[in-house]
Amino acid sequence: MTRSYGHPVLNWLEDRTGLPGLVEDFLMEDIPASSGWHQVFGSVALFSFLIQMVTGILLSMNYAPTPGEAWNSVRYIMTELTGGAMMRGLHHWGASVMIIVVVLHMVQVFIWGSYKKPREGTWVVGVFLLLLTMLYGLTGYLLPWDNRAYWGTVVATQIGASIPGAGEWVTRLLAAENGIGVATFARFYAIHVLVLPPATLLLIAFHVFLVRRHGVAPAPGDNLPKKKFYPEQVFKDTVAIFIVFAILFTLAATVRVPLERLADPTDNSYIPRPDWYFLFLFQTLKFFEGPAEIVGSVILPNIAIVALILAPWLDRSPAKRARQRGFAMGIVAVAALGWTGLTVAAVRSTPPTKAVDVTTISGPEPWQFLTPVELAGAGLYKKENCMQCHGKGSTQFGPDLLAKGQTKTAAELIAHFRNPMAKVPGSTMPPINMTTAELNSLASFVLKLSPKNVALLESIPAYASDAAQIYQKNQCGACHMVNSVGQKLGPALNGLAERRDRNWIVDHFANPQKLSPGTTMPPYKFTPKDMDRITNWLLEIPSA
């Protein structure tokens, strides 16, 4: 029974554990003479899963899985840690590589007819592994908690909510009844790191077991004597793995994965888009409107999944040669063309993103040096949709405010805002209905616009301009100074982050006396959203 390996340590191991024999049996398995380069994809898929596991575990060692801190920790990984951007790059691009490899694996199995009797079970388990791979993409998308993550997941959960009958249950399972929040985040994280990996490992083990049980599928008409898995096929698998790894490594080292601004539920200018491998679904949605929408979002994708699972029974003919299976090959061609067409159309129809990659910015950004009155004005400028007529390159409805610096004074601008016709006869600009303080803000921001800071307006996060409006409305500047504007009755707020943390600021707003005995600052009650906005901004006012 016990095999001999010619070395006492190996013999001892074999006798006590049987491990050397297990490895030998694995490597010396009989495979068809026709096996070769076309069958490397399964091993490559397994390898890309291992890469995701290793990089995922490493990322988790510096990642805080709560909405309050996730973004900060990802930024820390990207900008503070040696090799951090590399790890995130490998995990991010590795996800795409895994999708590609898994799909190629499936296409190969389909074309060679290997899903047919007796290998139906292997195929079905494989389809479930493909679905798990997609679920990783869907759940992992939220975890950086930037705008891209937040808005992409808003759309995904809304689609889940629209499923007739099951929508409510899906929403509850994802804890998304009241929008995307802390509980939703926890569910996505738990699914991504605790539910999916063990499920994947179990299914992979079962998949490999089934491959071994039925033997690697021979090419049609292969009656030659069998050969061994090692070393020839292992060599081919390794070369394929090496090529894929080289591509992934190069991608991770050269293409930086952006981290956009902190998720901002009030940012109404953000255009969400899914990862490239889901773009075909995103595009399909556009063909269905109103009540028919669920056809594109739920019904068609589910028909496709069921058809994939049932493929071995929908096509029971024993024919395996591609030449004899015109219809099946036609389906592959139509699917490939359809997928490519939809993806290209989606890429073409989405405007280029204006999102900022925060990991490329070191130190404070220009907008952080705006005074509260200017920052509040920027919010009003957006709210009034001023760029619609005065944006870059516009001449038709109004002058391009970015083309040259302002020559008017604040007073002239305010007079013009109040009554455009009086200053510019024939102007189509509607009068702006605002308080004097707001008009002041708007004028000071317009005065800031110049050709040099075209990007300034785009770069101001919505929470900051909202916060500045709250600051202005409550006349905080009557006691505090920000960026050299305001009074000195209270402490200047520049560099607040170095002195206080978020909890302190929130507590201090609620009860200033408790934390600063003797202060003359009255308590302020803000809605939770406003509190978030104002603390976010206060913590980002640069050191003087």
Could you give the CA distance from residue 139 to residue 149 in angstroms, rounded to a whole number? 10
Please pick, from the candidates 44, 45, 87, 470, the single residue that binds another protein as defined by CB under 8 A. 87
CB of 241 to another protein, least distance (A): 8
Please choose, out of 11-19, 73-81, 145-153, 262-270, the segment that lies near another protein by the rule CB under 8 A.
73-81
Is position 76 an interface residue for another protein (rule: CB under 8 A)?
yes
Is position 324 an interface residue for another protein (rule: CB under 8 A)?
no
429: left (phi over 0), alpha (psi -120 to 50) or beta: beta
Q: What is the full DSSP assignment across 299-361?
A: IHHHHHHHHHHHHHHH------SGGG-HHHHHHHHHHHHHHHHHHHHHHHHSPPP----GGG-
By C-beta, is 52 or 283 nearer to another protein? 52
Q: Residue 168: is it exposed, middle or buried by C-beta count within 10 angstroms (0-12/13-18/19+)?
A: exposed
Is position 61 an interface residue for another protein (rule: CB under 8 A)?
yes
Q: Residue 52: is it exposed, middle or buried by C-beta count within 10 angstroms (0-12/13-18/19+)?
A: buried
Is position 83 an interface residue for another protein (rule: CB under 8 A)?
yes
Could you give the CA distance from residue 22 to residue 31 in angstroms, rounded to a whole number? 17
Structure tokens at 88: 């995130």
Is position 203 an interface residue for another protein (rule: CB under 8 A)?
no
Is position 523 an interface residue for another protein (rule: CB under 8 A)?
no
Could you write out the three-class secondary structure of 11-58?
Answer: HHHHHHCCHHHHHHHHHCCEECCCCCHHHCHHHHHHHHHHHHHHHHHH
CB of 232 to another protein, least distance (A): 6
By C-beta, is 12 or 235 nearer to another protein? 235
Please pick, from the candidates 54, 163, 196, 322, the single residue that binds another protein as defined by CB under 8 A. 54
Contact characters 12-51, another protein, x per CB under 8 A: ---------------------------------------x
Please choose, out of 72-80, 262-270, 462-470, 530-538, the segment that lies near another protein by the rule CB under 8 A.
72-80
Alpha helices in 141-190 (DSSP H): 147-161, 167-173, 182-190
CB of 493 to another protein, least distance (A): 15
Is position 488 an interface residue for another protein (rule: CB under 8 A)?
no
358: left (phi over 0), alpha (psi -120 to 50) or beta: alpha
Which residues 401-460 are close enough to bind another protein by CB under 8 A? none
Could you give the CA distance from residue 533 to residue 264 in angstroms, rounded to a whole number? 9
Structure tokens at 74: 């990802």
Residue 473: how many CA atoms within 13 Å on its side-chain side?
Answer: 13
By C-beta, is 248 or 449 nearer to another protein? 248
Please choose, out of 108-116, 229-237, 315-323, 485-493, the segment that lies near another protein by the rule CB under 8 A.
229-237
By C-beta, is 125 or 493 nearer to another protein? 493
Burial 339-352 (b: 16+ CB within 10 A, else e): eeebbebbeeeeee
CB of 508 to another protein, least distance (A): 12
Which residues 234-273 are close enough to bind another protein by CB under 8 A? 234-235, 238-239, 241-242, 245, 249
Is position 80 an interface residue for another protein (rule: CB under 8 A)?
yes
Q: What amino acid occupies position 291?
A: P
Please pick, from the candidates 39, 43, 73, 157, the single residue that binds another protein as defined by CB under 8 A. 73
Check: CB of residue 56 under 8 Å from CB of residue 193.
Answer: yes
Question: How many positions of this chain bind another protein (CB under 8 A)?
Answer: 35
Is position 232 an interface residue for another protein (rule: CB under 8 A)?
yes
Contacts with another protein, residue ranges (CB under 8 A): 51, 54, 58, 61-62, 64, 69, 72-73, 75-76, 79-84, 86-87, 231-232, 234-235, 238-239, 241-242, 245, 249, 497-501, 504
